[in-house]
Amino acid sequence: MELDDAMLTVEVKNSRPVDLIDLTSSLAAFAEAFKDFANEKTGDPLPDNMRLYVKEIRSGSIIADLIALNDQAEWLLKHAEVFGAFAANLNDIANFFLGKPNDLQEAPTAKQAKQISHIIDPIAKDHGSQMNVIVSSGGVVNINNVTINSTEANAIQNKVANYIAPKLPAQMGMADQLLVLEQVKNNPSSKSGDRGIIETISTKAVKLQFVSEEVKRKILEIKENPLQCVFLVDVDVRSIEGKPMLYRIVEVKDTIERD
């Protein structure tokens, strides 16, 4: 195996104990992201030839010193160069989701988005914590280092969740959806002020429009309080940039009173 003195250090400066599952998932995602990067950028014809291994776990914060090993490395970039490029790419992906300048040639893939979300999970759950990724070779620290604090980690995870969420088409009909009202005007002819939630589409309340006054009466004229009921509806969903902006209620099929 080919080994040099380059090292990739992952430091979690935690303020409270870190869940072991979160930590191992973070390091596993880190290793997977590095393997994918090395496969793409080193030109190695052997799949997964360059992989990360733990050299040492140190105390203080949680500090993992990682090294790369590969079987045939004569034609490969030096490990320090691969580490530096990987750290820079990881930083660019983080900056992409933070809305900061970055040098990415194309948007991250869904896999890369999920990887960075898992990598930063331990600090996203620990307010006041920080993750540092440090590249060194021969005891000299590389300038391509990554620092992400807990506030940034939460922001990244929120952006990733939206980024990988299925995007709705501009218009889509859906049958047999459960609708919960947030507010409704007590007038069948009212064209505004009605809002409701269909959780299979979005957890946020969206403006409602009824295809006819007759359809709206099926909600308003029930004996129970409409705000305390769930309605089985056929709906026409109108979206902008993949986000629902209007639920056009085509039919109200059933009413379920909530406990």
Query: What angle, 0 to 180 degrees and rounded to 10, lies between the N-to-C axes of helices 150-164 and 79-98?
Result: 80
Q: Are 34 and 132 found together in one domain?
A: yes
Q: Are 176 and 194 found together in one domain?
A: yes
pTM of the model: 0.66
- In this structure, is residue 16 part of a structural domain? yes
Q: Are 92 and 46 found together in one domain?
A: yes
**Rounded-to-integer distance, Cα 116 and Cα 118, Å:** 5
Q: Are 128 and 29 found together in one domain?
A: yes
User: Would you state the structure tokens that stand for residue 137, as one six-digit string?
Assistant: 């070779």
Q: Are 112 and 156 found together in one domain?
A: yes
Give pLDDT tens digits for 146-171: 999 999 999 999 999 988 877 889 99
Q: Are 145 and 219 found together in one domain?
A: no
Asked if pLDDT for residue 257 goes beyond 70, the answer is: yes
- Per-residue model confidence (pLDDT) at position 4: 59
Q: Are 27 and 44 found together in one domain?
A: yes
Q: Where do runs of H (alpha helix) occur along 121-166?
A: 121-124, 150-164
- Per-residue model confidence (pLDDT) at position 2: 45
State which of 164, 194, 220 marks the end of a domain. Answer: 164
Nearest 5°: CA angle at 106, between 23 and 41? 65
Whole-number Cα distances in Å, 162 to 89, 96, 226, 227, 256? 21, 13, 31, 29, 31
User: Would you state the structure tokens that stand for residue 70, as one six-digit string?
Assistant: 């590969």
- Per-residue model confidence (pLDDT) at position 192: 82
Return the closest-CA partner of residue 8 out of 37, 45, 48. Answer: 37
Which residues have a Cβ under 8 Å from the Cβ of 149 and sit 6 or more positions away? Answer: 123, 129, 130, 131
- In this structure, is residue 185 part of a structural domain? yes
- In this structure, is residue 201 part of a structural domain? yes
Asked if pLDDT for residue 1 goes beyond 60, the answer is: no
Q: Are 144 and 188 found together in one domain?
A: no
Give pLDDT tens digits for 68-88: 776 655 444 577 888 999 999
Domain that holds residue 196: 171-257
